[in-house]
Structure 1
Amino acid sequence: MLKGFKPLAAAALCLLGLSAFAQNAAAAQWVDSGRTAYLKFSFFGSFAEHTCNAGTSPIQDYPGSCANDAASGWTANHSASSGLSNEQVNSCGVNPNQLGSACYGLAYAINGQAYAGGLPAACNVGARAVVTSTSMETVEIQYEELDVDFIELAREYVCQ
């Protein structure tokens, strides 16, 4: 009787293992693709760079273009999330004459459609999204002079 039980037990263990694998595979999550764009603008100086993929060197100019732009949807997602994030900052109204006055924006876009806030926890495997955070702040530069810093950081994520 034990001999007949062993194949059933082995089959049950295999099914249990596959079940655990299926649950892990179904629990999709956002993973940073390594694609970024960064812009810092102020009256006294600006800086811009982007990367095409994880592990690649930063490229000057903003937002630049990469060979995989069309396939990844970067351009549509970046434009949409950047637009909404900038709208949030602009509607806040930084006071350029008050040190520490600041406004912040956060938006993400999937398939060119922008949404306020950070990425949702759930995602569909293969989906790509760009999250853009924007800040505008009145800062002191030197000799008690004030400047307004505008910083935008966009980062691409892939659902895996």
Structure 2
Amino acid sequence: MISLKPLLIGGIGLPILGGAGYACFVFIQPKNLKEELKRDKFTPLSIEKGQDKDIWTKLVKEYSKTTTNPKIGNLTITLSATEPTDEEIEKLQNACKGLFEKKKGDSNYETDLNLAKNWCIKESTKISNTPNIISNPAPAGSEAKPSVP
């Protein structure tokens, strides 16, 4: 005689486990662009006045002279001196704050994510001092050759 107890337990337990797994998936998804940047191991710049000022200064300088790189909306920054003022830095900070608040389903989300990676994170390649490393192939004939016994 086949016992129905294991079948009932399995039939009830499996949907519960599936539901729990789905709930975990939903709750660990980033709620906004800033959370997605963090999940992808980027460090969003602080938008608090005076925080990360050296990085913001470099980014504002770069942003003000760029003409070909993507810009954030219609944000234009024209430097009034060789060093950005607090107001000029604040313009970029406010633009980044707006990007950080974008939700996953918002229109142009992927474009905004790329803009944030350019202008709103500590690891921005716009100010990176890390040289691009291009791997050069070894010259012909310089490969290691196995020795013949």
TM normalised by structure 2 equals 0.38
Structure whose residues are more often helix by fraction: 2
Q: Quick check: which has more Rg, 1 or 2?
A: 2
TM normalised by structure 1 equals 0.36
Structure whose residues are more often strand by fraction: 1
